Amino acid sequence: MEKLKEALDRLIATLPNEVEFRRTLENLFSVYPFNEYEFIISALLGANKLTFDDYVELRDAYIARNRFLYLFEMSSPRGFGEAWAQGHLSELVPDMMKPSKKLDKDYSGEYDFFLDGTIKIEVKASRAVDFDTSEPLYVKALATDSPKDFDMNFQQVKPACCDVFIWLGVWRDKIRYWVLASKEVADNKYYSHGQHRGNVGEGQLHLKRDNLQEFAQYEIRSTDLLHAIRDAYHRQHAS
């Protein structure tokens, strides 16, 4: 969003009535789908400060930078963390199966996927948003090159209930994946035990700008997920 605003601001500065136009923007009343950006672009096109080809280029660049912005419009944590994240991983790794008592007689809802008849997998997902603003999620969504601080909180983490964790971090332009053995989470210095009073074995972990690099060894490409899960399982059960 910052880059689009900067590009439009430079074009607004070329308008002969710039001051009057900016004053109009300050008092602009918007109703979907007629908003501030539609108004600015229409005015720039009408003033011949933006050609149609320039507009298409601006639009395509914005879409490329915001491929996953729609994921920040999901207001329900369950809709994002379960419905979307698990569905997304099912498409990437179709070998993973939804667990059931038929596949695992001891299953009681404590993990999300079952692989190779032995590997119990838990999925956690979070979104990178500007930590210093209270704007709606889709407004404060960050791109991977943004210098702003974020705090991705992976909650209700129960290392004893699975063999492998898959973490998904969503930026407006990219999805990043980390695969860790359960004990690598439990033993991590950033893992906080006891998220809620009385919840034994449950904690949380925060991924932030200042510690993200410390998890680089666990980050993998989406095409390597299946191999990474099996590797993490072997690490989990290595003597």
Residue from 123, 118, 95 nearest 106 by CA: 118
Taking the CA atoms of the chain, what radius of gyration do you get in angstroms? 22
pLDDT score at 78: 81
pTM, two decimal places: 0.82
pLDDT digits (tens, 9 = 90+) for 151-167: 999 999 999 999 999 99
pLDDT in tens, 20-78: 999 999 999 888 788 999 999 999 999 999 999 999 999 999 998 899 999 999 888 78
Residue 218 corresponds to which tokens in the numbers above? 């666990």
For 69-236, CATH number out of 2.40.30, 3.40.390, 2.20.28, 3.40.1350 equals: 3.40.1350
The token pair at 237 is 């059960």
User: 191 forms bridges with which residues in the sheet?
Assistant: 205
166 with 181: CB under 8 angstroms?
Answer: no
- 117-149 pLDDT, tens digit each: 999 999 999 999 998 888 888 889 999 999 999
pLDDT the model gives residue 76: 81
Measured CA to CA in angstroms, residue 83 lies from 76, 80, 86, 123, 126 at distances of 10, 6, 6, 11, 13
Which letter does DSSP use for residue 195 in this model? Answer: S
B/e letters for 138-156, b = 16+ CB within 10 Å, e = fewer, are bebbbbeebeeebebebee
In tens, the pLDDT along 190-235 reads 998 765 555 567 899 999 999 999 999 999 999 999 999 999 999 9
At 30, the amino acid letter reads S
Where do the structural domains in the chain lie, given as residue ranges? 2-65, 69-236
C-alpha 84, offset from chain centre:
11
Confidence at residue 200, expressed as pLDDT on a 0 to 100 scale:
62
Question: Given this model, what pLDDT does residue 194 score?
Answer: 65
